[in-house]
Amino acid sequence: MVHQFDKLTANQTAIENLQANEKISVMYEHEPRKFEKRGDKMITTVENLKTKELSELEADGVFVFIGFKANVSVLGDTLPALDNWGYIIADEDKKTSLPDVYAVGDIISKKYRQITTAVADGTIAAMSISKEF
User: How buried is residue 24: exposed, middle or buried, by Cβ count under 10 Å (0-12/13-18/19+)?
Assistant: exposed
Q: What is the pLDDT along the chain (133 residues), one digit of tens a residue?
A: 999 999 988 778 889 999 999 999 999 999 999 999 999 999 999 999 999 999 999 999 888 776 667 778 878 888 999 998 888 898 877 889 998 788 777 777 877 665 553 354 455 556 666 775 5
pTM for the whole thing?
0.52
pLDDT at 118: 37
Q: How far apart are the first and last CA of the chain?
A: 19
Domains for the chain: give ranges and CATH numbers: 2-59 (3.50.50.60), 69-133 (no CATH)
d(CA 30, CA 54): 9
DSSP 75: G
